[in-house]
Structure 1
Amino acid sequence: MTAAELLMKNIYTFANILSQAGCDIVAKWNHTSLQNALNWADYCIKVYHQVADKPYRGEIEKHMAAMTLHLHPPSCLRLGVEDLGKARSILERTLLNNSHLPEKLIRIILEKQQKSSMNNSIQQEQECEHLAREVTDVTKLMQTLQTNEVSHSKLISEATMLLSTLLSLISCSSNSQRFENFVSNLLTRITKKAVTLDLILKMLCVSPHDITYTDKQLHFLQSIIIQWLANSRNSALLDSKKDFIHEACRFHTDFCQLYLRNILQWAKDMEPLYNEGDSNLYSWRYRSSESKFRDIGRSRTLDKLCEHIDNLFSINKQCQILVRQSLQTQKETSHFNVYRDILKKLSHIPES
């Protein structure tokens, strides 16, 4: 390993530690973990003084930008050479901004800051705070999305911010597959405990007029998001707000088809429940072979299913044709199935 490779490997180690400092992993940190992280920060400060005025500084900047796509856990953090000189301050601020940091470690950091004789300028303090927020933004977003009480305006703001951040990282790698993997991993992390996928749906509805990137770049990123939704087993899509789904369908035909596939899978998972001594001989209930999805059954009613089909049917003429043909095809597969009852309930969807 050359000296340059070793240098980048060590910078990457600190960047990974900094990424960890912004998530819930720090809940398991102890005094040794903290001191180890601070030692790596001090190492980066030394690196800064060695490379700050060197002609190869630009090459290091380039590699550091690409390094973002390899961080684990995935983060929106982007470090530059100038940031290495403030590595300790950025790390300390990141940790203090993280609500998962144990109280005893908070006290240690504050004591170290009080003993420090370093006097940062106001501008440097602001720059450190900005980078610290970049690291913890994902964790805070995860916490926000665990509740149904996110305001519509905040959701739009967060979606636009996250989309812009991801777009800014496109140029960090010439390997499109690596960028796609990074986006997928970041979305998975953000929505791991989310109640719905409302934020992701709003990201699909951001137009080029709202951000400073080209149509081509925006289309590329949004296609990655749709692909992630298609591959994700997160059933939260159908629990998202129907007007958000409706809007995303109008923007993207691919997403509209994905939505229909989810609806048809929901219908496929409905089974008849025969009612003894009831005027209604049977009803429909949702079934799932996976225990983690069984609780979802309470919200997977036939009425809710019909609401989603109605939502898709009302998007445009193309969707109307697609829905009608799909339901009719499924209806003809047997003499008794849920699709026949769906068509009965949705009388405005004529049978062909």
Structure 2
Amino acid sequence: MTVRKVVSLTGVANVVVVTLGLIALSLMRGPAAPPRAGLPHTEAQKKPGQSSEAPPQLALPAFALPAPVRATEESARRVKANEVGLVPVLMYHRIRWDRSASIDRTPKQLRVELERLARAGYVPVTAAEFVEGRMDVAAGAHPVVLTFDDGNPSHFALGADGLPMKDTAVEIILAVAGKYPSFRPVATFYVNREPFGLKGEDAQKAGVRWLMDHGFEVANHTYAHKDLRSLSNKKVSEQIVRGERLLRQLGVEDFSTFALPFGSRPRKGSLGRGGSWDGDKYRYEGVFLAGAEPSKSPFAKGYDPREIQRIQSNGLAGDCRKWCSTYWLKWLDEHPGERYTADGDPDTLSVPRQLRANVASKRGKKVIYY
């Protein structure tokens, strides 16, 4: 199989993924599985007689981006740099032990997949860093974007110790980073009107602030998670603006990216990327779909910021036989020349000479062909 063949089937794949998402909507709106028994969640759950003072916070895994190198033809050749290669943008929904919807993943499945990425040399970057071409990972490493839709409680919650609850997405990401020091603990959370199930503005502000302070990105997924294709143009813009207003109220200022609910594009496609409502304008550097293949590099020919591909995290059952993460990560392992491999220099763009024609955007970088 080649990437060109897959691209021709993108529309079909997106229809499949969107259909699955619509079928699962009622399940997605249901309550998430509670944290595992015995783990604290809120102050109200403390045992009688327990101190109301929060215990000292424990240290989180430390991570520092590698020092940039000065790339040359020789160094780029040595690591087989290809910065117009494919980037997996993985899409997750609920993380729960009782997978009641096909797009759910268990905490174990998420942990196994992230550890697989770490062992294969992938380093997470945020969605904003991806669309802005700031994937500054070590020479020879491969960027990966971890995206979590809907702001589910299974993504993020803090325990009485001030640390992420066990088996939430954030806790698992941090645990994997602790085990694999080169695995940068960042992800992008696309949220709706009640981020992470937190009640009240103060709790929501505190949660969003904790995530941003620890390098995570919180971004817009509309206010009410409606299928934008079913709405009028005015209602589409209203949903996006109301989502932005909520996030600004909670302290978010950077709106580089937007994820379409269900991957469903508005009938007027340009409204997903830019528009206005009630006096407020919005404009995104990148708009993400719901599937179903690796994304092209933002430097590569064919990259379209209006419809950036994502890969649903899942196994090999049904339509996922050729469209989800288990398939695609194996495919990328078997076709290393097709994936994005960094040169380690944020000021250069390194590309094999035979792929020279694939460069569409330099974004101010010096290009090295080898």
Greater relative contact order (Cα < 8 A, sep 6+) = 2
What TM-score comes out, normalization by structure 2 length?
0.22
What TM-score comes out, normalization by structure 1 length?
0.23
Query: Relative to total residues, which structure has the larger helix share, 1 or 2?
Result: 1
